[in-house]
Homo-oligomer: A and B are copies of this chain.
Amino acid sequence: MKEILQKIKPSKQEEKKLRDISNELISKIKERVKKLDSRIEVKLVGSCSRNTWLRYEKDLDIFLLFPREYSKKELEKVVENIGKEILEKLQKKYAEHPYVKGEFKGYDVELVPCYLIESPRNMVSSVDRTPFHDRFVRENIKGKEDEVRILKQFLKGISCYGAESKVEGFSGYLCELLIIKYGSFLNVLENATRWKFGEVVQFGDLSKKKLRRKFPNSPLIFVDPVDENRNVASALSEEKFARFVYAAKEYLRNPKYTFFFPKKRKKCKRDVISKFKKRGTEIFAIIFEKPDILDDILYPQLRKTIKRLKKALKEREFIVEGSFFSVSDRKVAIYFELRSSKLPKAKLHLGPFVSSSHEERFLRKYKSYDKKLTEPFIIGKRWAIILERKYRDVRIFISDILKKGNGIPTHIMEAIRKKFEVKLNEEAILDEFLEDLLQYFDPRFPWEN
């Protein structure tokens, strides 16, 4: 564990440097703010403020707390002006709330305006809650900062760190709360081995039943100590929850270094192709330019696209064995593994019960139907007919669907409308996506590499 800490804990020197720079930055901001309104507070929040940051994290989150009479427009204006004066490479960002991003002496800085409120109950947007998070952690984390660091690195190693849509994992704040709750990294793991889907963790004693009804699809419900209406783990997916629980068990059985620092897998195209061919299944990939949107929009839309296409494939009786997507620097590929990319021409179409009210319509419809291979006949109680399948080749079906685009999220559809390719089998195994292809065909956990 010492060895791990050595790699991830900032040195005294690094810490001093961070403190110096953040102090410099804050006083610069304060100077400017004072001229505007002495009631506006400036606060460093996040892992730097709480002393739980990792060596390679270079983020300074600075919050400006405004009295309630300011409008959102005014908030935006203030941070924009200050950002312009102090930061380099300024970017305006919009989440629920406006903020700016930039650089200051090599550190990534976020300048976020929020309202100064007495209690999270009065918050206008969720950023208003952040200073309360910060205070709660600072008041409770003393002496356990390194445990937080170790937990974060563990989660990073098993690809479960981060609440952003790309990861769907554990946020830094959630890590801190887990350490506050259970006292140490090992205690968190030990408790996690007993977690079930829908697990409830809290500092209070709210009814678990009510909480599960309130957050019905959350694998983990961690009640926010500063706002009991919020689940801190709301971004955590079932899969990442499951992976963490299993990793905790495995680590306690066999505490390997690779949980924290997994080896990179050697990718070799020939190896991936041979693994694919051994299966005897078929794959196809839909490939298009990566749309220029935030990851937090891209990833959910990709997940929705896969869901939509899977449903469409099933309706047409293509049997989906698996699916995933892969995002490279410039392109996106959506992969499907199928039992077969082709279907026979004929399919049995079951109709209504004989003598039911739908009988006549069925018989009339197929009397002069040009896609029938037989006349209607009776199987048991029901009418049936053998029809020609509309789609026998998955490539044609998928191309048709993508041209129509029903139900496919807008940004993905826009990218696809510009240009897309559908590639089959070996041709779909492209260097650009090799890492994810290898992971798909030989799915091992990061610590097992």
Which residues of A line the B interface, CB within 8 A?
A: 195-197, 219, 238-239, 242-243, 245-246, 278-282, 321-322, 339-340, 343-348, 353-355, 373-375, 377-382, 386, 392, 441-445, 448
Out of B196, B246, B280, B448, which one reaches A346, CB within 8 Å? B280
Out of B238, B279, B321, B381, which one reaches A242, CB within 8 Å? B381
Known: A340-B340, A374-B442, A441-B374. A380 touches B238 (CB 8 A): yes
Task: List, in ascending order, chain B residues with CB within 8 A of A378's CB.
Answer: 239, 242-243, 246
A385's closest neighbor in chain B, by CB? Answer: B443
Out of B279, B377, B382, which one reaches A386, CB within 8 Å? B279
Task: List, in ascending order, chain B residues with CB within 8 A of A382's CB.
Answer: 242
Cβ-closest 9 pairs across A and B:
A280-B344, A279-B346, A242-B354, A377-B443, A280-B345, A281-B344, A238-B381, A242-B378, A245-B355
A239 to B381, CA, bound (A): 6
A442 to B346, CA, bound (A): 13
A246's closest neighbor in chain B, by CB? Answer: B354
Number of copies: 2
Task: List, in ascending order, chain B residues with CB within 8 A of A355's CB.
Answer: 195-197, 242, 245-246
Out of B238, B239, B279, which one reaches A373, CB within 8 Å? B279
A197 to B374, CA, bound (A): 25
Assess the A374–B340 pair: CB atoms within 8 A: no
Task: List, in ascending order, chain B residues with CB within 8 A of A373's CB.
Answer: 278-279
Min Cβ gap A310→B in Å is 12
Instruction: Give 9 pairs: A residue, B residue, CB < 8 Å, sorted on A.
Output: A195-B355, A197-B353, A238-B380, A242-B355, A279-B373, A280-B343, A280-B344, A374-B442, A374-B443
A242's closest neighbor in chain B, by CB? Answer: B354
A281's closest neighbor in chain B, by CB? Answer: B344
Task: List, in ascending order, chain B residues with CB within 8 A of A197's CB.
Answer: 353, 355, 381
A379 to B322, CA, bound (A): 10
Task: List, in ascending order, chain B residues with CB within 8 A of A242's CB.
Answer: 354-355, 378, 380-382
- With contacts A280-B344, A374-B441, A374-B442 known, what are 13 further pairs, Cβ within 8 A? A196-B355, A197-B355, A197-B381, A243-B354, A243-B378, A246-B355, A279-B344, A279-B373, A279-B386, A281-B344, A322-B348, A375-B444, A377-B445
Min Cβ gap A152→B in Å is 21
A72 to B196, CA, bound (A): 68
A128 to B278, CA, bound (A): 68
Task: List, in ascending order, chain B residues with CB within 8 A of A280's CB.
Answer: 343-346, 392
A243's closest neighbor in chain B, by CB? Answer: B378
Min Cβ gap A284→B in Å is 14
A281 to B387, CA, bound (A): 12
Out of B238, B346, B441, which one reaches A278, CB within 8 Å? B346
Assess the A339–B345 pair: CB atoms within 8 A: no
A340 to B343, CA, bound (A): 9
Min Cβ gap A398→B in Å is 19
A445 to B196, CA, bound (A): 59
A443's closest neighbor in chain B, by CB? Answer: B377
A373 to B401, CA, bound (A): 32
A322 to B375, CA, bound (A): 15
Min Cβ gap A355→B in Å is 5
A444 to B282, CA, bound (A): 38
A281 to B243, CA, bound (A): 42
A353's closest neighbor in chain B, by CB? Answer: B197
A277's closest neighbor in chain B, by CB? Answer: B345
A281 to B278, CA, bound (A): 25
Out of B239, B374, B386, B442, which one reaches A379, CB within 8 Å? B239
Task: List, in ascending order, chain B residues with CB within 8 A of A379's CB.
Answer: 239
Task: List, in ascending order, chain B residues with CB within 8 A of A442's CB.
Answer: 374-375
Known: A239-B380, A375-B443, A380-B239. A321 touches B339 (CB 8 A): no
